[in-house]
Structure 1
Amino acid sequence: MSNRFRSANWLAKNGYAPQVFLFRNLESGQVLYSQLPTFTDYQIKTQFQRPNWQNKRPSLRRDIWRLMAVVDCDTYEGSVKLYENLVQLRSMRDLTLKDVAMRFRPRNKDGNIWYSAQFRPIYTQEAVADLATSIENAQTKSKIHWEDEWRKGEMSNWDGNLVTHESIDRVALQTPKALLEELKEKAKVEFNKLKTVDVEEQQQSQQTV
């Protein structure tokens, strides 16, 4: 089952890469976080804990969710910490700091936070901001694959020592399953390279002592 929190050891043992996935809802603009390249109704209920008329609990329908970004982390522990940070910030925006979050959200002429057909662009913007903050908090070197280059916003918002950015090929986005599998395998290769370098550096350090 993919509907529960996964530890670093579980992810490694089950052949997953140290990644975090962001999916955006085409109808509402809401963003869903996942440790795996898929998601379930359990995650929706967990991440949208107190839905209301302005922030309804989104549907599980696969046709209204699109891959927004994939984050490759340099360690499994880093990917777990990043995921935890993102979910925690979401919870703070929706629960403990809801009033503060609402004050900063732009509104339409009627005073509501939605626009055409109740679409809310602020949710993807907040998710990008939370991603930048969460990576910095986790201190995990990351490569982010974006569905669109412009989604990452201003480069000044990102820690250049921790984060690099790539755009996903638009043709590849049309076959998300194949794309996610390809990104997973590439991330595992990069992780193994980093692990090999770390081992070699440790061996050299021990030899010079």
Structure 2
Amino acid sequence: MSNKFRSAKWLEKNGFAPQVYLFRNIESGQVVYSQLPHLNNYQIKQQFKRPNWENKKPTKRRDIWQIMAVADFESFDKAVVAYNGLVELRYMRDVTKRKEAESMRKRNSDGNIWYSAQFRPSYSQESIADLSAVVDEFKFKTKIYWEDIWRKGDDKYWNLDLAQHLEFPQKILVDRSVILNELRENSRISKFKRNSKD
């Protein structure tokens, strides 16, 4: 059912919120962007166009993915544009500008981009930089909810007139779907209030 791209109209009609979800792989550090509060094979296939031995195509096994951030936009159209922007930046880094991206990645003493237990922090750092770039490029006001606020990095890398940073309303000691549902409902309520004022 969810194995395809979703339009702004479809997301609104089906009770979702104008959000983009960033899921991180706790084993590898890889990040997958999603229009929905869960992962599926479509997103993995779409976002890992040229997997290799350093950046293998991940599985969608639920136990290795954790929600890292939820970006809440002012409209469904903006959320779709932001999602497409993130996917396009990933494609550029992995395909069209691969050599430039490789040259900028921090490496360990052996010249590899992974650290303990094959973990690659570069991937989550790049996804956060891409989110900052998308918000700034399109001038989208957004609230970004983080699993841990330190993940956003230094404020100097963000346009703080556009991006408001918050932590998840509760720590992820409960099922993450509870938190994502709460964020979705809050977003839908605030969007309804904005629309009723117009």
TM range (shorter): over 0.9
More helix, by proportion: 1
2:147 equivalent to 1:144: no
The structure with the larger Rg is: 1
Listed one character per residue, the Cα deviations across residues 143-166 of structure 1 (whole Å, up to 9, x for unaligned) are 000000100111121112211010
> Distance between the aligned counterparts of 1:102 and 1:126, measured in 2?
12
Q: Which residue of 2 is the match for residue 176 of structure 1?
A: 176
Q: Which residue of 1 is the match for residue 195 of structure 2?
A: 195
> Distance between the aligned counterparts of 1:186 and 1:195, measured in 2?
14
Letter in 2 for 1:50: R
Listed one character per residue, the Cα deviations across residues 55-96 of structure 1 (whole Å, up to 9, x for unaligned) are 111111100000000011001110000000000000000000
Moved over 4 A (4+): none
TM-score (norm 1): 0.92
> Distance between the aligned counterparts of 1:132 and 1:87, measured in 2?
14
CA contact (8 A) 2:169 2:179 kept: no
Paired-residue identity, %: 52
Q: Which residue of 1 is the match for residue 130 of structure 2?
A: 130
How many residues align? The count is 198
Deviation at 1:193, TM superposition (A): 1.7
Q: Which residue of 2 is the match for residue 117 of structure 1?
A: 117
Letter in 2 for 1:89: L
Deviation at 1:174, TM superposition (A): 2.9
> Distance between the aligned counterparts of 1:173 and 1:180, measured in 2?
13
Q: Which residue of 2 is the match for residue 68 of structure 1?
A: 68
Q: Give unmatched runs, 5+ long, in structure 1.
A: 200-209
Where 2:143 maps in the other structure, the secondary structure is: strand
Q: Give unmatched runs, 5+ long, in structure 2.
A: none
Q: Which residue of 2 is the match for residue 40 of structure 1?
A: 40
Listed one character per residue, the Cα deviations across residues 123-179 of structure 1 (whole Å, up to 9, x for unaligned) are 110010000001122322100000001001111211122110101145345310111
Q: Point out the more displaced range, 93-102 or 165-174.
A: 165-174
> Distance between the aligned counterparts of 2:116 and 2:45, measured in 1?
25
Where 2:11 maps in the other structure, the secondary structure is: helix
Q: Which residue of 2 is the match for residue 96 of structure 1?
A: 96
> Distance between the aligned counterparts of 1:42 and 1:10, measured in 2?
17
Q: Point out the more displaced range, 62-71 or 155-164.
A: 155-164
C-alpha RMSD over aligned residues: 1.1
TM-score (norm 2): 0.97
CA contact (8 A) 1:78 1:139 kept: no
> Distance between the aligned counterparts of 2:76 and 2:164, measured in 1?
18
> Distance between the aligned counterparts of 1:174 and 1:107, measured in 2?
35
> Distance between the aligned counterparts of 2:173 and 2:32, measured in 1?
18
CA distance 1:173–1:78, change in 2 (3 Å): farther
2:47 equivalent to 1:31: no
Q: Which residue of 1 is the match for residue 12 of structure 2?
A: 12
Listed one character per residue, the Cα deviations across residues 92-136 of structure 1 (whole Å, up to 9, x for unaligned) are 000000000000001011111111111000111001000000112
Letter in 1 for 2:65: W
> Distance between the aligned counterparts of 1:118 and 1:166, measured in 2?
30
> Distance between the aligned counterparts of 1:13 and 1:139, measured in 2?
26
> Distance between the aligned counterparts of 2:30 and 2:173, measured in 1?
19
